Amino acid sequence: MKKGRGMGVYCAALFGFLYLPLAVMFVFSFNDARRNVVWRGFTLKWYSALFHDAELMSAMLTSLELALAAAAIAAVLGMLASYAMVKHKAFRGRGAYDALLNVPLMMPEVALGVGILTFLVRAGYELDFMALASSHALICLPYTVAAVRARLISLQESSLEDAAMDLGATEWQAFVKVTLPLAMPAIISGALLSFTVSFQDFVTSFFVAGIGIVTMPIKIYSMMKFGVTPEINALSVCLLLATFLLIGLNAAFAVRPDEASRH
Amino acid sequence: MDPPESAASPAPADYLCLSGVSKSYGPLTVVRDVSLAVARGEILTILGPSGCGKTTTLRIIAGFESPDGGRVRLSGADVTDTPAYDRDVHTVFQHYALFPHLSVADNIAFGMRMDKVPEDEIKKRVPEALAMVKLSGFESRRIQSMSGGQMQRVALARAIAGRPAVLLLDEPLGALDLKLRKEMQLELKGLQRRLGIAFIYVTHDQEEAMTMSDRIAVFNHGRIEQVGTPGEIYEMPKTSFVADFIGGANIFSAKVLRGEPGRAHLLLEDEHELNVPLDANESLPGIGARVKVAIRPERVKVFYKDELPFGLIRFDAILKDTVFLGDACQIYLQMFKKNPERLTIAWAGGDRYAVHDDMDVPVIAAVDPEDVYILERDNG
């Protein structure tokens, strides 16, 4: 009994530490006061202000478009990259190939941002929307590869492509009719993850975004220069809810281990 | 009853023919110079321990691997360079490899759709294939909701629905439990007889091979050790590997003392003289040569009284141990004074009361000279 209670206290403390700040933010987004510290009564006006702020809405739209583009690019590249990994077990530089695909995950984003910026400027490429979307796709790629590769390995082990080809499908038909539909949940899950990574990315955007491209995190950063307003709280709550929604979707698409290769 | 030497030469009746097929992965040679011919309507089993090259051979026939050397011919045409999807060969995979995103009917129709069979023809053939494997009415079931035995049947229906010339089966019953496996063995055999197509069946289970096959090809280290009917393989093993792998055998070393037409005088384990008859096509391995001989455990008879068995070779032996196995008793005998560690195994019937379980008592072991097989020369 005692042990159980100790565990309960520990858990409460842990989750309090994790989620209390979010709860405070949530509550104060409804606070009817300009300052963030004293409770003055309930209001929805910050939310209303949020949706009437044209600049903010445009930043929101930019971020959504950016995340969609980055997720799409990362999903396609991730699928192809992991297909190559799984299909060709041994090729020259296999180890380097695997490692280099994961590097963006570990690399300091500042270094990555500076690197991409230097490269694009040197190459004389305009810092437009596609430049930013490609940079985001780069940081998202390890996530889609991780999600898709696990799925492809289990498909490979159950010799489904062999079976399709045995029954008369060409390599392309086997890919389109068997591998792709079965890998789709993993691809979508990787794309959703990429979407969140891109949507909340600040550092890379900060370096690579050209003039006139303002993403949501950059907008929040510039708003913060004038202090933490309830409007920012309200905005953060919206972002938080959107993220939870994506996590839920991701869980729904997550591959159950028994589904791919039931023997 | 083809002698194995001629089994590789293509005859008009041969549906599938491998000649001199080899395959290596880097320094590792997994298939060495394999020649094999399979007739229309025959079940040929490729039998061997794991890693003997049997699955690779099957994958070469299916077209998933291309051989480094040798040719594969199917119905008279050279298909060595034909990709898997253009070969008239279908495979039942070890773990079924059913498409989990498709229904049972769509799984079965998959191959026919790839071959552009008209949809109304497919509508007729899917229930036919399901009826063949006794799964009528399962068309719209999902793969995940089926048992192992049912999935096995769907895999079979999918492979035969396209009416291939040859069906390859890679340990198809390996994942089923013993009782179901026994049932499926007989069912598969019946199905093959009805379809009249060639089955090439891969297994490591010698009992399954004996049950299923018209002929067995015993593989070891990527090579064919012997090809023959189950009877030939069992009664006339050519190598000690075959003798030991099929049914188990006592393998002794012997020296050829002298020969006469149709007979050989051997000195068994440097102790006992035997006069062994030779098969018609068997030549005497030169005088003084060392050979290996095999005696099946069930052909070693044990007498507990001092009887003189007529026409049998008599050994004075010591009973070392008895193991009761339910349907049989295994008796361990010491037959050689010079090499007491070398125990001989004898099988007796399942009547445990007929078998003495005293240890270290003198008994008489007896063998019919007809039951002693001369195997390959002993180089070891």
Contacts of A50 by beta carbon, 8 Å cutoff, 6+ apart: A56, A231, A234, A235, A238
CA angle B100, B104, B182 (to 5 degrees): 95
Task: Write down the residue that tokens 């030469």 correspond to.
Answer: B9
- What is the distance of C-alpha A254 from the center of its chain? 15
The per-residue pLDDT for range B235-287, each reduced to its tens digit, is: 888 888 998 888 888 888 899 998 888 888 898 888 888 888 887 667 777 88
A201 DSSP assignment: -
Q: What is the pLDDT confidence band of residue B7, given thresholds at 50, 70 and 90?
A: very low
Q: How many CB atoms are closer than 10 A to CB A71?
A: 28
Residue B348 has pLDDT above 90, yes or no: no
Q: What is the pLDDT of residue B107?
A: 96
8 Å CB contact between B376 and B289: no
Residue A133 has pLDDT above 80, yes or no: yes
Kindly list the residues from chain B whose CB atom is less than 8 angstroms away from the CB atom of residue A259: 100, 144
> Would the CB atoms of B97 and A168 count as touching at under 8 Å?
no
Q: What is the pLDDT confidence band of residue B5, given thresholds at 50, 70 and 90?
A: very low
Q: Specify the CATH class of B249-377 in words.
A: mainly beta
Kindly list the residues from chain A whose CB atom is less than 8 angstroms away from the CB atom of residue B64: 162, 165-166
A176 touching chain B per CB within 8 A: no
Percent of chain A at pLDDT > 90 equals 42
Q: Is the dihedral of CA B195, B197, B202, B205 positive or negative?
A: positive
> Comparing B42 with A1, which gets the higher pLDDT?
B42
Q: What is the pLDDT of residue B378?
A: 64
A68 DSSP assignment: H
Q: What is the pLDDT confidence band of residue B363, given thresholds at 50, 70 and 90?
A: confident
Burial class (CB in 10 A: 0-12, 13-18, 19+), A116: buried
Kindly list the residues from chain B whose CB atom is less than 8 angstroms away from the CB atom of residue A156: none
Residues from B contacting A (CB-CB < 8 Å) are: 62, 64, 83-86, 89-91, 93-101, 110-111, 114-115, 143-144, 148, 151, 158-159, 162, 175
Q: What is the pLDDT of residue A31?
A: 85
The per-residue pLDDT for range B109-133, each reduced to its tens digit, is: 999 999 999 999 999 999 999 999 9
| Distance set, CA B304 to CA A195, B71, B318, B319, B366 (Å) | 84, 57, 10, 9, 11
Strand B290-295, strand B250-260: pairing: antiparallel
The per-residue pLDDT for range A113-131, each reduced to its tens digit, is: 999 999 999 998 888 899 9
- What is the distance of C-alpha B167 from the center of its chain? 17
Question: What integer best gives the mean pLDDT of chain A?
Answer: 86
Q: Which of B62, B95, B162 sits opposite A158 (nearest CB)?
A: B95
Q: Which of B84, B100, B162 sits opposite A165 (nearest CB)?
A: B84
What stretch of H or E contains A155? helix A129-157
Q: What is the pLDDT of residue B150?
A: 93
Q: Tokens representing A146?
A: 């991780």
**Cα–Cα distance, B49 to B51 (Å, whole number):** 6
Q: What is the pLDDT of residue A3?
A: 63
- Averaged pLDDT, A46-54: 87
Q: What is the pLDDT of residue B351?
A: 65
Q: Which of A167, A182, A259 sits opposite B110 (nearest CB)?
A: A167
**Cα–Cα distance, A223 to A206 (Å, whole number):** 14
* φ, ψ for residue B354, nearest 5 deg: -80, -10
Residue B6 has pLDDT above 60, yes or no: no
A159 touching chain B per CB within 8 A: yes
What stretch of H or E contains A186? helix A180-199
Q: What is the pLDDT of residue A161?
A: 92
* φ, ψ for residue B172, nearest 5 deg: -65, -20
For chain B, what are the domain ranges? 4-243, 249-377
Edge to edge, what strands does the sheet with B263-268 contain?
B272-277, B263-268, B250-260, B290-295, B372-377
The per-residue pLDDT for range B102-112, each reduced to its tens digit, is: 999 999 999 99
Q: What is the pLDDT of residue B319?
A: 87
Residue B357 has pLDDT above 80, yes or no: no
Instruction: Give 3-state DSSP helix, strand, coil % of chain B, rounded to 5.
Output: 30, 35, 35
HSE-CB of B187 using CA atoms within 13 angstroms = 17
For domain B4-243, give the fold: Rossmann fold (3.40.50)
Q: Tokens representing B300?
A: 């070693």
Contacts of B260 by beta carbon, 8 Å cutoff, 6+ apart: none
**Cα–Cα distance, B206 to B211 (Å, whole number):** 9
8 Å CB contact between A68 and A61: no
- Averaged pLDDT, A175-196: 93
Q: How many CB atoms are closer than 10 A to CB B244?
A: 15
The per-residue pLDDT for range A193-216, each reduced to its tens digit, is: 999 999 989 999 999 888 888 998
* φ, ψ for residue B264, nearest 5 deg: -135, 140
Q: What is the pLDDT confidence band of residue B20, given thresholds at 50, 70 and 90?
A: very high
> Would the CB atoms of A182 and B144 count as touching at under 8 Å?
no
Q: What is the pLDDT of residue B379?
A: 59
Q: Is the dihedral of CA B216, B219, B222, B225 positive or negative?
A: negative
Rg (CA), chain A: 23
CA angle A126, A127, A132 (to 5 degrees): 135
Question: What integer best gives the mean pLDDT of chain B?
Answer: 87
The per-residue pLDDT for range A213-257, each reduced to its tens digit, is: 899 889 888 888 877 777 888 888 888 888 888 888 888 876 554
> Would the CB atoms of B91 and A163 count as touching at under 8 Å?
yes
Q: Tokens representing A44?
A: 């929805």
What stretch of H or E contains A240? helix A230-253
- Averaged pLDDT, B167-191: 90
- Averaged pLDDT, A144-161: 90
Q: What is the pLDDT of residue A255?
A: 54
Q: Integer distance in angstroms from the first to the last C-alpha of chain A?
A: 43
> Would the CB atoms of B100 and A167 count as touching at under 8 Å?
no
Contacts of B243 by beta carbon, 8 Å cutoff, 6+ apart: B237, B249, B251, B294, B373, B375
CA distance A255 to chain B (A): 13
* pTM of the full structure: 0.78
8 Å CB contact between B335 and B344: yes
Percent of chain B at pLDDT > 70 equals 92
CA angle B284, B287, B291 (to 5 degrees): 65
**Cα–Cα distance, A133 to A137 (Å, whole number):** 6
What stretch of H or E contains A192? helix A180-199
* φ, ψ for residue B49, nearest 5 deg: -70, 170
CATH for A51-260 (1.10.443.10, 3.20.20.140, 1.10.3720.10, 3.30.43.10): 1.10.3720.10
Q: Which of A165, A259, A262 sits opposite B85 (nearest CB)?
A: A165
**Cα–Cα distance, A32 to B65 (Å, whole number):** 73
Residue A40 has pLDDT above 50, yes or no: yes
Q: What is the pLDDT of residue A36?
A: 64
Q: What is the pLDDT confidence band of residue A258, given thresholds at 50, 70 and 90?
A: very low
Identity of the amino acid at B68: D
- Counting one residue from A and one from B, how many pairs have CB atoms under 8 Å apart? 72
Q: What is the pLDDT of residue A2?
A: 58
